[in-house]
A = this chain, B = another copy of it.
Amino acid sequence: MKTKGKIIINDVGPRDGLQNQKKHLSVDERVALINALVAAGLPAIEVGAFVSPKAVPAMAGTDEVIHQLEAKDKVAYSVLIPNERGFSTGVELNVPLMSLVVAASTTMNEKNIRMTTNQALSMSSDVLALATQLNRRVQAYVATAWECPFEGHISVDEVIKVSAALLDAGAAHIVVADTIGAASPDQVHVLMSKMVSEFGANKLSCHFHDTRAMGVANVYAAIEAGIRQFDASIAGLGGCPFAPGATGNVATEDVVLLVEQMGYSTGIDMGLLLAASDKAKALTGTARGGHAKTWLEQQENKRGSK
């Protein structure tokens, strides 16, 4: 069937999803979850973070996870790095894509990484310069792009300013992140329309949480604005340990269902994606599954019984 084109989904469950869970999974369990996502056809997966295991114990052993990854020629695996030290680890381990994070809110940067926005941009620029020199792909998350739990509403101009600085410094891609799940679809449409006209859609993706039940609506609004790449989290796992009120990421299952029904192709097999969702639930004990879970399971059962 001819589609409207591709939408690329990056599953952040193994990092953003697991990072905030009370129960910490073992390296083998994390690899098993990643492999379930690979089997389902996810084209991109965030597999860990090179951060202090004391600060974020759930991400300890990311280096071991990297060693065990399969299908490295097929899947865009990425790792979160907080700084140049993380970048060096990524280079050593030959991680194909690394992600820096800068918040569009100075207070959020101060609370999260103890830097002002300008200091964070300066630190990121140093890493990006090094990445350019070493020919490594590093992308940048612009966090709290709509609202900050401390500062409130973030202006479109601020997000564009921070994004432009990161792209100028050599970021391969900008992920515009609604870190605390505060954006509404009209706000998403306004910002992402301006971002697309400023930077082009192929430089951009969006990251939504479902805190206010608007995650799927926000994906739709971003698609209408031209965005064709999204983060999502298997079974809706997730949250942000530093942002009060941030609950689960928008579920991969729900996003795949939306975009496929809209006529885009993702390359993802829904039956195997539901199996990955079940695995996420079994491993963590807390994953809720997508909101469309009951219906999706009915469809798979019908398909299976034919």
- State in angstroms the CA–CA spacing of A214 and B298 once bound together: 17
User: A213 within 8 Å of B by Cβ?
Assistant: yes
Interface residue? A290 (CB, 8 A): yes
- Whether B212 contacts A213 by the Cβ 8 Å rule is no
The answer to whether A245 has its CB under 8 Å from any CB of chain B is yes
Known: A212-B261, A257-B213. A186 touches B247 (CB 8 A): no
Give the residues in chain B near A292, CB-CB below 8 Å.
211-214
Query: Nearest B residue to A217 by beta-carbon distance?
Result: B217
Measured CB to CB, the residues of A under 8 A from B are 181, 184-186, 210-214, 216-217, 219-221, 245, 247, 251, 254, 257-258, 261-263, 290-292, 294-295, 298
Please list 13 pairs of residues, one from A and one from B, whose beta carbons are closer than 8 Å in the complex, sorted by A's number.
A184-B262, A185-B217, A186-B262, A186-B263, A211-B295, A213-B251, A213-B257, A213-B290, A214-B257, A214-B292, A220-B220, A245-B295, A247-B295
- Known A-B contacts: A186-B263, A216-B216, A217-B219. Give 14 more (CB < 8 A): A184-B258, A184-B261, A184-B262, A186-B220, A186-B262, A211-B294, A211-B295, A212-B292, A212-B295, A213-B257, A214-B220, A220-B220, A245-B295, A291-B291
**4 closest Cβ pairs, A-B complex:** A213-B291, A213-B292, A217-B217, A213-B254
